[in-house]
A and B are shown apart, each in its own frame.
Chain A
Amino acid sequence: MQQETYEHLKSVLKKNPALAEKIIQNLLIQLHNQKIVSIDKIYKQSREMAQSSPRVNEKKRYNPNAGIVPQWDKKEKEFIRQMVIKYASEHFTPEEIDRVVNYISKTEKAFALENIANLPGVSFWLLAEKVHEFCNLPEAEPIPLSMATGIRVALLKNFISDNLQFIRIARKYIRITDLDPIIKHTLGSETGSGKIGGKAAGLILAYKILTTEYTDETDYEYFREHVHVPESYYLRTDVFEDFLAYNGFVEYQNQKYKSMEEIQDEYPLIRELFKNADFPPVIKRQLRNLLEKVGEVPLIVRSSSLLEDNFETSFSGKYDSIFLANQGSLNKRLSSLIAAIGEVYSSGFSPDTLEYRKEHDLLDYFESIAILIQKVVGEQFGDYFFPLWAGVAFGRNEYRWTKQIKYEDGLVRLVFGMGTRAVDRVSDYPRMIGLTKPMLRPESTPKEIKVYSQKNVDVIDLKSNTFVTLRLDEILDKIKTPELSKVISIYKDDDIFDPIGTYIYNPQEGTPVITFNNLLKEQKFPELMSRMLKKLEKAYNSPVDLEFAYANKKFYLLQCRPLVSHFREEKIKIPENIPQGKIFFHTERDVPSGVLKNIEYIIYCDPLDYNEIPHNDKFLLARVIGKLNRLLEAKRFILLGPGRWGSSHIELGIPTHYSDINKTKMIIEIARESGGYTPEVSYGTHFFQDLVEANIFYLPIYPDLPTTTFNPDVFKSCENMLGSLLPTYKHFEKALKVYQIPRCFQGQYFHVYMDRDNQKSLGFISPLE
């Protein structure tokens, strides 16, 4: 007998009387499994020893109700215990004994944890404490997977999100121990309970999918090396409810049942009220601690609503994200943070959000908004703070100007500076990267490349505490890093050259143009994006879209969610033999897939006529379209107009909101190649995402391409219905045409066929189908 092990075991048993029996049982199993001594042998020996000693409980032995195996009396049990201690002391080291003890206490704690997690209305901090205890147990063998999964599900539901699709995936990748650091970064009252919401959940899950060692996948080390997530903090959903109660805003929860007009009218007031509201002292203290901890670094405050970033609905861009430079005194920083959170909360009551919820039948859902506070990914250059590159990536690529680029390989919109320029609809040109062939671009001459490249840069100005947009030349001389040469190319003498070595801004040497050529030539970045999109797609069982940024030589994942798309994969056959006089358009570029039949109304704004409208009337025109949208709600109608729909820059297109166009069956953007309107189309913007989710078809028409037929004269003899539909706005008749197709084509309708595989579309008039 090894005295040391013996003593250790004795003391362990003494210290844990409640677990003693389980420890002995487990040691017995270990002895058996390691073929040291079989269970049978120990039982046999113990029985013999018990029999040879005086019997105390004869009666019990002959109980006819006892099972086949004789019941052990206390004495026999004691002999087994002694035998196990004997064999264990002979064959195990004290460390091996500890491992067994740790495993036993871990399963015990796990049971307790599962029980508490499944209690209704358990407080966040109680549960958090149990998780923390569990995570800080001494190292031991993993608990059985079935048990772990049960606990994971219970905890995910409590802490993160109760979306079942999320949980189905997350339970495979997010371990109990992964939750502890998340809980430590979660803010909220001690007694309350709430979740951290969809956006936060999506990011945590995506990171875990990439970096968790899981079954047959071996690339987790690659992702551990190449992917990071920014430091994040979470305000639970119940904080939102506390906020409403504390400020007397509870009545606004019923805002969603008001009419659209009321919602629109009252929204500015709600926004102001929320921005100037306060938090209960306990939350305020936590926010203050957070700011003290992170210091004076820029932060982004994002909503992480329970509805947001779901599997069917993405709410892309519906809820606000607010950047904070976060500079200055603690009090000043705290009040900015509180105002930003209030403002993000208010976006849950905006007309766009409520309209979107109404459309997706989500109005009756009790909406609580969690908040995600992240350190902004960036580097400081002079007074400015921004990442060297950032953008969005999509698992499917609708933006294909040549058949060489495959739909399934995905698309990246990449920008220099803050990623806002890639996500939002702004008058600029992100680098569009088809991952099939990353270096390929639709522009073929150096001059075109120069014109169709990013001109402005979004940055955080630390000095003025604001988010600003600067011209490229205003910022380039402040950036001294060799990595700039991955972003910039030089236009000189009618050609584009990629810098050799470090790029230092000197306008005499040529015009800097943002191309990312050297970054793409290295191939590492497109490879990372491709691998990431593919791996996440496999785990989600759906293509995803991502937001990312790169700074301080690290790539950060900022957001991940399933990509909602038309996914129409069936073959479409373009009708032949349609007479010329019945064809409105035929295109061969950027054609998606789909068939839209029996359109009754066409609302058409000619680009040249749009140009003629006075500046101010352009905004009014967008509102007129909004009215038509509501008026024709029950009809099948499509919209055609210049440039980009939904842009806030009127020179780019009609400044409609999503709620102005959401009833249409199709949006057509007329992109003049070299005229006033730009060929940058909507693919990849938030607005485009909205269309896809609402099943609104989208098609760009490039009238200047030789392969395009675009013939508005088809409707020459049609009466413009605008005046009779909206008499007040009859004066817009020149710019805005509303044709009722069956009325002017003897009961025939308008149809659109789009064949993605062969890149052909046809819009024509023919009988009802």
Chain B
Amino acid sequence: MSKKQNIFEMAQRQLDEACELLGLDQSTREFLRWPQKEIVVTLPVRMDDGTIKVFKGYRVQYNRALGPTKGGLRWHPDETIDTVRALAAWMTWKTAVVDIPLGGGKGGVTCNPQELSETEKERLARAYIGAIAKDIGPTVDVPAPDVSTTPQIMSWMMDEYEKIKGESAPGVITGKPLDIGGSKGRASATARGGLFIAREAAKTQGMSLAGKTVALQGFGNVGGWAGILFKEAGCKIVGISDISGAYYKVDGFDTHAMFDYVGKHGSLKGYTEAGMKSFDNPMDIFEMDVDILIPAALESQITEENASNIKAPMIVELANGPTTPEADAILFKNGKLVIPDFLANSGGVTVSYFEQVQNSYNFYWEENEVNERLDQKMTSAFKAVYDMYCKYEKKVDMRKAAYMVAVARVARAAKLRGWI
């Protein structure tokens, strides 16, 4: 059995737990355990040297009970239908927990983008849309950028779709460049969503963000924006780590300067600021004595080895899957409030949804309008999860609570539709 199948089985296990807690009936459980529709396509693409190369492409529409399915497109050499299936399931719970009228989906093409020229990428993008055009659309299924796919690739895909349909249809895809129907505020959306969630979480503890100390693991796009936005909200970003090491500064870093530095040098290596201390081991970030810890790098960073060393009372998971199940149990036992990834980082998909809304109105919002609406969505999403958490007397952790909110919403919609 391959590792990839284990990923999908893991997704199913998490669902089973939530269904158990919610006390859902057997047929509902069985229905939610599987994708509603899977598409596998074979794509012949002409290479620059005139030869034809054949690629495999996938699109999984996991569940459309809440609305058109939505999810990214991954171009990766190890892409299989199983990975796509698991990621489509998680997208379903993510759109449901943040309460936007969309289902979950995911797609991918097995290819090595390192071996494709720009023109070959364009032909591959168009071939993929040509093959699945009948099964996607602004009211059916809406792809977005993911691993190795860029706004440029989204533009080609949208164009190909419009050619086939013979009409303007920018809402068929999100993550487009601003010039052709993208939404303002997208670059910072994931981090900003995390900020709103953290603010609401702090309120439940009777606190405000002002003056709180923050440690950030990872300083890429999401981590970098989090550094800037949490600082703007009055936090002190005292700890930052990336691949080059961990850095500490008691009165808080100049995160704007760091963001520029990383943009030029690729990492924080060589960055200096008066009064900062450097640690060679990036993992030292987890032991810093801070109010909020934000993992914003890779998966499986908080493990049973380091979980008990974490001092921060609140952990906001901006990365996907930063905490292993074993570490989760330790954190829960130690009374830490963990805001789970698919709630904390759902700001991105929410703004994607806004992009689609703006596309269908053919009327575009200013950035503050985007941010205000994002605030409303994230605030109510957090409240729903926190209410569930309280309803179960805090005997389940926030992750399970979030799953329960999401699964219950999807199950209810499926029921109303008379499917189950």
Q: Please list the residues of chain A having a beta carbon within 8 angstroms of any beta carbon in chain B.
A: 401-402, 404, 437, 439-440, 442-447, 450-452, 455, 493-497, 511, 517, 521, 611, 651, 674-676
Which listed residue, A439, A450, A495, touches B177 by the CB 8 Å rule?
A495
B112 within 8 A of A: yes
Map CB proximity to A onto B269-289 as digits: 1 under 8 Å, 0 otherwise: 110000000001000000000
Which of A442, A446, A494 sits near B187, CB closer than 8 Å? A494
CA–CA, A450 to B112, complex, Å? Answer: 20
| Whole-angstrom CA separation of A527 from B119 in the bound complex | 17
A439–B118 CB distance below 8 A = yes
Contacts of A676 in B (CB 8 A): 244, 269
CB of B44 within 8 Å of the partner chain: no
B52 at the interface (CB under 8 A from A): no
Say yes or no: A493 contacts B151, CB within 8 Å: yes
Cβ contact within 8 Å between B150 and A495? yes
Contacts of A437 in B (CB 8 A): 48-49, 117
Closest chain B residue, CB of each to CB of A448: B266
Kindly state the separation between the CA atoms of A618 and B112 in the bound complex, as whole angstroms.
39
User: Is A674 a contact partner of B266 (Cβ separation < 8 A)?
Assistant: yes
Q: A444-B113, A451-B265, A651-B270 are in contact. Are A495 and B152 (CB under 8 A)?
A: yes
Which residues of A have CB within 8 Å of B117?
A: 437, 439-440
Q: Mark B106-124, 1 if CB is under 8 A from A, else 0.
A: 0000001111111100000
Counting chain A CB atoms within 10 Å of each CB, the highest count among B112, B150, B243 belongs to: B150
Q: Would A494 and B151 count as touching, CB distance under 8 A? A: yes
A440 to B115, CA, bound (A): 7
Q: Is A675 in contact with B265, judged by CB distance below 8 angstroms?
A: no
B174 to nearest A CB, angstroms? 13
Pairs across A and B, CB under 8 Å, 6 listed: A402-B114, A442-B114, A444-B148, A451-B264, A494-B221, A496-B152
Residues of B within 8 A of A517 (CB): 118
Whole-angstrom CA separation of A439 from B47 in the bound complex: 12
Shortest Cβ-Cβ A-B pairs, 6 listed: A451-B266, A439-B117, A495-B151, A444-B113, A402-B115, A495-B150
Residues of B within 8 A of A447 (CB): 220-221
- Whole-angstrom distance between the alpha carbons of A445 and B177 in the complex? 16
Hey, which chain B residues are within 8 Å of A674, CB to CB?
243, 266-267
Find chain B residues with CB under 8 A from A440 CB: 114-117
Across the interface, name the chain A residue whose C-beta is closest to B118.
Answer: A439
List chain A residues, Cβ under 8 A from B118.
439, 517, 521
B390 at the interface (CB under 8 A from A): no
Which residues of chain B come closer than 8 Å to A446, judged between CB atoms? Answer: 150
How many Å lie between the Cα of A100 and that of B115 in the bound state?
64
A residues in contact with B114, CB < 8 Å: 401-402, 440, 442-444
Tell me, rounded to whole Å, the shortest Cβ–Cβ distance linking B285 to chain A: 16
Q: Are B244 and A450 in contact (CB under 8 A)?
A: no
- Contacts known (A493-B186, A494-B150); A455 close to B266, Cβ less than 8 A: no
Binary flags per residue of B143-170, CB closer than 8 Å to A gives 1, else 0? 0000010111000000000000000000
Whether a CB of chain A sits under 8 angstroms from the CB of B207 is: no
Choose from A443, A450, A495, A611 the contact partner of B280 (Cβ within 8 Å).
A611
- Residues in A whose Cβ lies below 8 Å from that of B177: 493, 495, 497
Q: Which B residues from 179 to 226 make CB contacts under 8 A with A?
A: 182, 186-187, 220-221
Question: Given the known A-B contacts A404-B115, A437-B48, are A450 and B263 also in contact in the complex, defined by CB atoms under 8 Å?
Answer: yes
Q: Is B178 in contact with chain A by the CB < 8 A criterion?
A: yes
A611 to B263, CA, bound (A): 23
Q: How far is the CA of A443 from the CA of B49 in the complex (A)?
A: 21
**In whole Å, how far is A709's beta carbon from the nearest beta carbon of chain B?**
18
Closest to B153 in A: A495
Chain A residues touching B, majority SS: loop
Quote the shortest CB–CB distance from A341 to chain B (angstroms).
39
Whole-angstrom CA separation of A382 from B244 in the bound complex: 39
A748 to chain B, nearest CB (A): 35
CB-nearest residue of chain B relative to A402?
B115
**Bound-complex Cα distance A169 to B160 (A):** 54
Closest chain-B Cβ to A485's Cβ sits at a distance in Å of 16
Partner-A contacts on B (CB < 8 A): 48-49, 112-119, 148, 150-152, 177-178, 182, 186-187, 220-221, 243-244, 263-267, 269-270, 280
Tell me, in angstroms, the Cα distance from A497 to B153 when the chains sit together.
Answer: 11
Nearest chain B CB to A684 CB, angstrom units? 19
Which residues in A have their C-beta under 8 angstroms from that of B182?
493
A446 to B148, CA, bound (A): 9
Interface of B is mostly: loop
Q: Give the distance in Å from the alpha carbon of A455 to the alpha carbon of B263 in the complex.
A: 12
A507 to chain B, nearest CB (A): 11
Contacts A445-B148, A455-B264, A497-B152 given; indicate if A675 touches B119 (C-beta within 8 A). Answer: no
Least distance between B178 CB and chain A CB atoms (Å): 7
> What residues of B have a CB within 8 angstroms of the CB of A455 in the complex?
264
Using Cβ atoms and an 8 Å threshold, which residues of chain A touch B220? 447
Q: Is there contact, CB below 8 Å, between B178 and A493?
A: yes
Give bound CA distance, A294 to B115, whole Å. Answer: 48
Closest Cβ–Cβ distance, residue A714 to chain B (whole Å): 24
Q: Report how far A592 CA is from B263 CA in the complex, Å.
A: 33
With A and B bound together, what is the CA distance between A446 and B280 in angstroms?
Answer: 28
Residue of B nearest to A611 (CB): B280
Closest partner residue, chain B, to A444 (CB atom):
B113
Contacts of A651 in B (CB 8 A): 270
**Residue in chain B with minimal CB distance to A511:** B263
What B residues does A452 contact at CB under 8 A?
266
Please, which residues of chain B bring their CB within 8 A of the CB of A511?
263
In whole angstroms, what is the CA distance A27 to B265 when docked?
Answer: 79
Look across to chain A and name the residue whose beta carbon is closest to the beta carbon of B265: A451
**Chain B residues with CB under 8 A of A401:** 114
Q: Which residue of B lies closest to A442 (CB)?
A: B114
Cα(A452)–Cα(B114), bound, Å? 14
Give the most central of A437, A521, A651: most B CB within 10 Å: A437
Please give me the residue from chain A that is nearest to B269 by CB atom.
A676
Chain B: minimal CB distance from A680 (Å): 12
Closest B residue to A445 using CB positions? B148
B229, chain A: closest CB distance, angstroms: 17
Determine how close the nearest CB of chain A comes to the CB of B70; give it in whole angstroms: 19
CA distance A651 to B186 in the complex (A): 36
Please tell me which one of the listed residues B178, B186, B243 contacts residue A675 in the complex, with CB atoms under 8 A apart: B243
Residue of A nearest to B148 (CB): A444
Q: Establish whether residues B264 and A493, one from each chain, have CB atoms under 8 Å apart when the complex forms.
A: no
The residue on A at minimum CB distance from B116 is A440
In the complex, how many angstroms separate the beta carbon of B25 from the nearest chain A beta carbon?
Answer: 43
Q: Nearest-CB distance from A483 to chain B (Å)?
A: 20
A402 touches B151 (CB 8 A): no
Most B CB contacts (10 A, CB to CB) among A450, A455, A493 go to A493
CA A444 to CA B265, docked complex, whole Å: 17
Chain A contacts for B265, CB-based, 8 A = 451
What distance in Å separates the Cβ of B345 from its nearest Cβ neighbour in chain A?
16
Quote the shortest CB–CB distance from A734 to chain B (angstroms).
Answer: 14
Instruction: Give Cα distance in the complex from A675 to B117, angstroms.
Output: 27
Smallest CB gap from A672: residue in B: B243
How far, in Å, is A383 (CB) from chain B's closest CB? 25
Q: A443 CA to B114 CA in the complex, in Å?
A: 6
CB distance from B373 to the nearest CB of A (A): 19
Closest residue on chain B to residue A441 by CB atoms: B114
A sample of 11 more A-B contacts (CB under 8 A), given A444-B148, A493-B187, A674-B266, is A402-B114, A439-B48, A439-B118, A440-B114, A440-B117, A493-B182, A494-B150, A497-B177, A511-B263, A675-B243, A676-B244
Q: Give Cα distance in the complex from A675 to B264, angstroms.
A: 15
> B245 CB to closest chain A CB, in angstroms?
9
Collect the chain B residues with CB atoms within 8 Å of residue A493's CB: 151, 177-178, 182, 186-187
CB neighbours of A495 from chain B (8 A): 150-152, 177
Residue in chain B with minimal CB distance to A440: B117
B244 proximity list for chain A (CB < 8 A): 675-676
**Smallest beta-carbon distance B226→chain A, Å:** 15
Q: In the docked arrangement, what's the CA distance between A447 and B264, Å? A: 10
Residues on B with beta carbons closer than 8 Å to the beta carbon of A443: 114
State the CA gap A495–B148 with chains docked (Å): 11
Contacts of A450 in B (CB 8 A): 263
Please name all residues of chain A whose beta carbon is closer than 8 Å to the beta carbon of B221 when the two chains form the complex: 447, 494
